[in-house]
Amino acid sequence: MSLVPETDYGTPARRAEKHVTLTIDGETVTVPAGTSLMRAAAEMGTKIPKLCATDSLEPFGSCRMCLVEVEGMRGTPASCTTLAADGMVVKTQTDRIAKLRRGVMELYISDHPLDCLTCSANGDCELQDTAGEVGLREVRYGQHGENHVHPHEHGSPNPLFMEKDLSNPYFQYDPSRCIVCSRCVRACEEVQGTFALTIAGRGFDSRVSPSQGEDFFSSECVSCGACVQACPTATLMEKSVVALGVPEHSKVTTCAYCGVGCSFKAEMRGEELVRMVPWKDGKANHGHSCVKGRFAYGYANHRERITSPMIRNSTSEPWREVSWEEAIAHTASEFKRIQAKYGRNSVGGITSSRCTNEETFLVQKLIRAGFGNNNVDTCARVCHSPTGYGLKTTLGTSAGTQDFDSVEEADVILVIGANPTDGHPVFASRMKKRLREGAQLIVVDPRRIDLVKTPHVEAAHHLPLRPGTNVAVLTAMAHVIVTEGLVDESYVRERCDLEAFQAWAEFVSDASRSPEASEPMTRVPAEELRAAARLYATGGRAAIYYGLGVTEHSQGSTTVMAIANLAMATGNIGKRGAGVNPLRGQNNVQGACDMGSFPHELSGYRHVSDDTARALFETMWGVELDDEPGMRIPNMLDAAVAGEFKGIYIQGEDILQSDPNTRHVTAGLAAMECVVVQDLFLNETAVHAHVFLPGSTFLEKDGTFTNAERRIQRVRRVMKPKNGYADWEITQLLANALGFPMNYGHPSEIMAEIAALTPTFAGVSYERLETETLQWPVTDKAPLGTPLMHLEGFVRGKGLFVVTEYVPTDEKVGPRFPLLLTTGRILSQYNVGAQTRRTDNTMWHEEDLLEIHPHDAEERGIREGAFVKVASRAGDTTLRALITDRVAPGVVYTTFHHPLTQANVVTTDYSDWATNCPEYKVTAVQVSPSNGPTDWQERYNSFAATSRRVAAAEPAE
């Protein structure tokens, strides 16, 4: 085994219709116009020494190592900044150039520590490699003159020496090794877009420094790792490499955090993961990463991880570790007992949006064919099911229309109900780059998210709507577009249902739906809304990106259809730089939906009542399937409280922390006789479990994830499962014990079955995925996949405009509960925090905070950092206050990453009218000073701590 090789071409690739032909070292090469001499040489296999150049950054030309000779050109130009031209004759290696390169390298080495054999980057250092390439054998100047290397010189402190910065938990900065190539500074600017680093000082005093703050941790650095990746020396180095040594082999896999789906090289020593390095060929991330994917993998080895199966007879007893054989036999016996006593529909299951497509597919197969019912649901429904319903209704397919690369061609970007810099940071960096290039931005959000104003990016319009009024805002924008004659009429006539369009146009044209009429309910200034609508309709190619702030509402499906209406009316679907694009929250939300995790749909979004579709599954699985939809999670909990639902199999999902109305979830779980949790840790749901089946991490399994752009990507096993089995193997063991045989030898066999049963996956196979990433649909008509949907027509035929009547939520503010609570995520944490809370990411976010406007805080006597009580009609909780004007008066905001907060104690049972997706984003609350956790929190936390006891490890007192 060896490290996955990557070629660094020195400068970025260029796209151009015109090509130029030149001669390099006697060989002819043809490249696109605008290509550097360095890249032209690299593409023909000739490597030119370099230090400041790398192909993820624009050429800089400072290190002077890449000098070449060009016939007819004076001097020795830098090959990274000199563009190829027709007829050029270039020499990359002459005696003159060799002498110049060695001379420059001598100067670098004279101000660099000569401890290569003990340096953490030994064998992985570009300075070391380049010194060898140029033939440097001695340094005439020595290290006795003025330099940055030694803390003392001539017995006195050296004013040029700087101590290491160890403040960041994941990487260190050693200024003594810095060659001031500026690659880290440029990576922070060009790739990440944070502008957190600068070059301080001038001349010999120059050194990399945080632009604000005393060290990396206190600066604006977001720990994406771009600077570490760009550094050619050990100046910026992962602490894991310092501790464990340079890795010796690697595999390419896919990140298990958000729906961007970044590709990484998992770099190993034996079975020990040394570091995760973003893969340059990753089609979703192009070599970039965020703090979670790059560094927050330590949870895989966390001391709290459970690796042995456990069972208990009641939740008041301690857990008892058992063998896999006993755990599986006991679980199967319990499910059989329950169904025999209470009926076939008394059990069900929940699939995971964190597990692979193959594992999710097996769980829904187990439930439909093994349990004999359709009682299967997924967390994907409680976040993005309105996307499926809304886009399928209007466009004909249940997913986003574009690939991520499309944003590079957008002229106008509308972000609604999403916070990409926190929730989808790698995509946000690409978006910010396009905005810095001149694209215009519209943000529709109750909060002033970072994108509204961040370095070198400022929204043209921020519409700070009142939570719950998305439909009214979008309909008012449509009013402007229709009444001001901004509709793309030729597009609508050719591509859309004209009768439906006319009905919709008449509806939105009514004066009651104008920005002026809507302003009292939305709180968005009418003139600002009109200007935003005009920009969206006339600014060029316009793309809409949205998130849970759209879907997690009682009108989530209506809002998605309103978004599709806007895009169709302006001709912004079916071309690059445009489209309707949901930003999926978890790594495999899209895949969980695709695989048939809903109670009414088989894989590929075909209804269970579809006789033709159902027959395909029945033939392959050898059983008769129920043609009636099963129960969603809330229905299962209701039935449990009613005594009719008694057993549940939950794979990789913590419904007690993630689902709404925590008390209702608690009551439902407590009423069941067999709750089976399959996960990495004893999560909040496991407090009420009777069987715990330890799960495996993404590092310990093979499979696929499908990201937000419908891209199907390989997950590759890099170490043995610490629990003994991958998750798909555990489900297979349970199915066999239940009497429904499964005999897969590898996830590739499961994918073959998925492809045979799911039309959009028909052309997908592991053989292809070894060398390709495919975006479904992959069919005979689209054998290479479909990066861009609806190119020549909509999947449903004619695009369907839908009338989107604004219906205010039933969750009303009033004297008792005058504020509106909305929720979201933060960069360093992920979902319910089960993974990220078990890493050093907690250094940035130790607890959830309640953001409250200064006016509302002063009115209630609330001080910064003090405990506050948040009470709603459903319940109450406490957390600390953060006073900020990022939220408007009347609105409060919090994250939901920490179980001690129990944020969903206060959320209600209101949900989307079409899909039952919970209305997390609108909860009427009152906020008041508090002395600390509520009685309910303390009782629950005490119960949870007791419930997590393991008999052998933690005996009762």
CATH number at residue 520: 3.40.228.10
Q: What pLDDT shows up at residue 142? A: 67
| Residue/partner pairs of 279-283 with CB below 8 Å, 24 or more apart | 279/4, 279/6, 279/252, 280/6, 280/55, 280/56, 281/6, 283/403, 283/405, 283/711, 283/773
Grouping H, G, I as helix, E, B as strand and the rest as coil, residue 407 is helix
- Sorted by sequence, the CB contacts under 8 Å of residue 619 that are 6+ apart come out as none
Q: Are residues 689 and 607 in the same domain?
A: yes
Measured CA angle at 864 (ends 862, 865), to 5 deg: 105
Helix (H) or strand (E) holding 131: helix 126-133
Instruction: List the 774-775 sheet strands across, edge first.
Output: 703-706, 711-715, 774-775
Structural domain that includes position 278: 171-301
State the CATH number of the domain containing residue 94.
Answer: 3.10.20.740
Q: What Cα–Cα distance (Å) separates residue 763 from each residue in 302, 348, 771, 785?
A: 39, 31, 14, 8
Measured CA angle at 618 (ends 614, 620), to 5 deg: 120
Q: Are residues 656 and 711 in the same domain?
A: yes
Query: Quick one: tokens of 210?
Result: 């945080």
Handedness of CA 419, 422, 426, 429 (dihedral sign): positive
Q: Are residues 555 and 596 in the same domain?
A: no
DSSP tag of 450: G
| Distance separating alpha carbons of residues 272 and 301, to the nearest angstrom | 10
- Sorted by sequence, the CB contacts under 8 Å of residue 745 that are 6+ apart come out as none
Residues in the chain: 957
In a domain, 487, yes or no: yes
Residue by residue, what is the 3-state secondary structure of 47-63? Answer: CCCCCCCCCCCCCCCCC
| Distance separating alpha carbons of residues 795 and 395, to the nearest angstrom | 6
Grouping H, G, I as helix, E, B as strand and the rest as coil, residue 325 is helix
- Stretches where the chain sits below pLDDT 50 are 954-957
Q: Are residues 462 and 354 in the same domain?
A: no
| Distance separating alpha carbons of residues 867 and 475, to the nearest angstrom | 39
In a domain, 754, yes or no: no
In a domain, 546, yes or no: yes
State the CATH number of the domain containing residue 845.
Answer: 2.40.40.20
In a domain, 823, yes or no: yes
Q: Of 681, 699, 734, which residue constitutes the final position of a domain?
A: 734
In a domain, 781, yes or no: no
Measured CA angle at 366 (ends 365, 368), to 5 deg: 65
- What one-character-per-residue DSSP string does 229-287 give? HH-SSSSEEEHHHHHH----EEEEEE-SSSTT--EEEEEEETTEEEEEEE-TT-TTTTT
Helix (H) or strand (E) holding 493: helix 489-495
In a domain, 701, yes or no: yes
Q: Are residues 573 and 665 in the same domain?
A: no
| Distance separating alpha carbons of residues 354 and 652, to the nearest angstrom | 7
- Scanning the structure block, which residue is given the tokens 């076939």? 344
| Distance separating alpha carbons of residues 730 and 700, to the nearest angstrom | 13
Q: Are residues 379 and 244 in the same domain?
A: no
Helix axes 515-522, 470-483, angle to 10 degrees: 170
Among candidates 598, 639, 630, which has minimal Cα distance to 374? Answer: 630
Query: Quick one: tokens of 267?
Result: 């770099």
Measured CA angle at 9 (ends 5, 13), to 5 deg: 120
| Distance separating alpha carbons of residues 81 and 61, to the nearest angstrom | 6
| Distance separating alpha carbons of residues 460 and 324, to the nearest angstrom | 58
Helices (H) and strands (E) in the chain, counts: 29, 38
Are the C-beta atoms of residues 101 and 94 closer than 8 Å to each other?
no
Q: Are residues 524 and 422 in the same domain?
A: yes
| Distance separating alpha carbons of residues 477 and 513, to the nearest angstrom | 9
- Sorted by sequence, the CB contacts under 8 Å of residue 98 that are 6+ apart come out as 134, 135
Q: What Cα–Cα distance (Å) separates residue 590 from each residue in 178, 371, 577, 706, 821?
A: 43, 25, 21, 6, 27
Are the C-beta atoms of residues 564 and 536 closer than 8 Å to each other?
no
DSSP H stretches of helix in 570-632: 589-594, 611-621
In a domain, 748, yes or no: no
Q: Are residues 121 and 202 in the same domain?
A: no
In a domain, 779, yes or no: no
Q: Of 687, 711, 734, which residue constitutes the final position of a domain?
A: 734
State the CATH number of the domain containing residue 229.
Answer: 3.30.70.20
Q: What pLDDT shows up at residue 275? A: 96
Q: Are residues 708 and 840 in the same domain?
A: no
- Return the C-alpha torsion angle 630, 633, 637, 640, nearest 10: 40
Q: Are residues 113 and 202 in the same domain?
A: no
| Distance separating alpha carbons of residues 328 and 734, to the nearest angstrom | 6
Q: Are residues 850 and 825 in the same domain?
A: yes
Q: For the chain, report the end-to-end CA distance as a whole number of angstroms.
A: 51
pTM (two decimals): 0.93
Report the domain count for the chain: 5
Q: What pLDDT shows up at residue 379? A: 82
Q: Of 301, 336, 358, which residue constitutes the final position of a domain?
A: 301
Q: Are residues 427 and 576 in the same domain?
A: yes
Query: Quick one: tokens of 528?
Result: 């600002």
- Scanning the structure block, which residue is given the tokens 């602490």? 239
